[in-house]
């Protein structure tokens, strides 16, 4: 939280000091890309040593076209829940494609306050194991598997990107995930979609705290 407030304050101060200057003298209006920014989600990596239920990673890349940024995000997601009489496991990969619009133009470092849209897709498999109690045969172990599953959804994003030092950038992305659709069927109703969350929810909030390195040309 402290890092986010510090970054937000730096961005605000930068915006105030440059607001009175002409836009053309700071950011030339050209749609020619000037570099690519590669990063990873710190929150996903931080969860791994502290959680027995989650394992995964996410990387992202974006390319600027003046105030528009073409964005690609790719990740891996594994979850497990183990109870006394049942257990659940899933694993899969996901990607998001979309674009962000920088609403902060009067900044020579190209710091960003942005809004964006994404289309996301996940390919995964999941397994459910549980004990079925039968009055005649007693307890029976049931094992159900959903293989070669796929799902898609849309996202609305907002956040910021701030230049920290030379090519090093940091920022965060808040995302509202909506309208999940599972395009394949399995032996049981999907519980958790990698990259999205609980399949029973029509809307889901997500948050990423990211570190980047920008390669300019």
Condensed to tens digits (0 to 9), the pLDDT of residues 10-59 reads 444 444 344 434 444 445 678 899 999 999 999 999 998 888 899 999 99
pLDDT at position 21 is 41
Neighbours of 39 (CB within 10 A): 21
Q: Chain centroid to CA 170: how far?
A: 15
- Please give the Cα distance from 97 to 212 (Å, whole number): 18
> In CATH, what is the architecture of 2-21+32-216?
Beta Barrel (2.40)
The backbone torsions φ and ψ at residue 25, rounded to the nearest 5 degrees and listed phi first, read: -80, -15
Query: Residue ranges per domain, the chain?
Result: 2-21+32-216
> Among residues 47, 71, 45, which one has the least CA distance to residue 57?
45
Bridge partners of 97, per DSSP, are: 72, 119
pLDDT at position 55 is 95
- How wide is the angle at C-alpha 144 spanned by C-alphas 141 and 148, nearest 5°? 160
**If phi over 0 gives left and psi between -120 and 50 gives alpha, with beta otherwise, what is residue 183?**
alpha
- Please give the Cα distance from 122 to 54 (Å, whole number): 17
pLDDT at position 10 is 45
Q: What is the pTM of this model?
A: 0.82
Residues of the chain with pLDDT under 70: 1-28
DSSP letters along the chain, please? -HHHHHHHHHHHHHHHHHTTS-HHHHS----S--EEEEEEEHHHHHHGGG-SSEEEEEEEEEEEETTEEEEEEEEEEEEEEE-SSEEEEEEEEEEEEEEEEE---S-TT--EEEEEEEEEEEEEEEEEEEEEEETTTEEEEEEEEEEEEEEEEEEEEEEEEEEEETTEEEEEEEEEEEEEEE-S--SS---EETTTEETT-SEEEEEEEEEEEEEE-
pLDDT at position 13 is 43
The backbone torsions φ and ψ at residue 107, rounded to the nearest 5 degrees and listed phi first, read: -145, 120
pLDDT at position 27 is 52
């Amino acid at each position: 939280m402290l890092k986010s407030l510090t970054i937000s304050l730096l961005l605000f101060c930068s915006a105030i000091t440059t607001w009175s200057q002409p836009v053309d003298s700071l950011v030339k209006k050209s749609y020619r890309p000037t570099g690519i920014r590669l990063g990873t989600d710190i929150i996903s990596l931080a969860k791994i040593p502290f959680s027995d239920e989650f394992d995964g990673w996410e990387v992202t890349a974006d390319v600027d076209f003046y105030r528009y940024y073409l964005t690609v995000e790719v990740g891996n997601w594994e979850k497990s829940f183990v109870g006394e009489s049942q257990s659940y496991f899933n694993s899969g990969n996901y990607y998001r494609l979309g674009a962000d619009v920088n609403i902060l133009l009067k900044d020579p470092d190209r710091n960003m306050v942005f809004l964006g849209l994404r289309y996301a897709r996940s390919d995964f498999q999941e397994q459910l194991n549980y004990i079925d109690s039968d009055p005649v045969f007693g307890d029976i172990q049931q094992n159900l598997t959903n293989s070669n599953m796929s799902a898609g959804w849309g996202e609305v994003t907002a956040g910021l990107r701030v230049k920290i030092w030379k090519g090093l950038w940091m920022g965060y992305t808040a995302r509202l995930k909506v309208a999940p659709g599972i395009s394949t069927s399995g032996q049981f109703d999907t519980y958790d979609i990698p990259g999205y969350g609980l399949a029973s929810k029509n809307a889901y909030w997500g948050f990423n705290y990211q570190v980047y390195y920008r390669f300019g040309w």
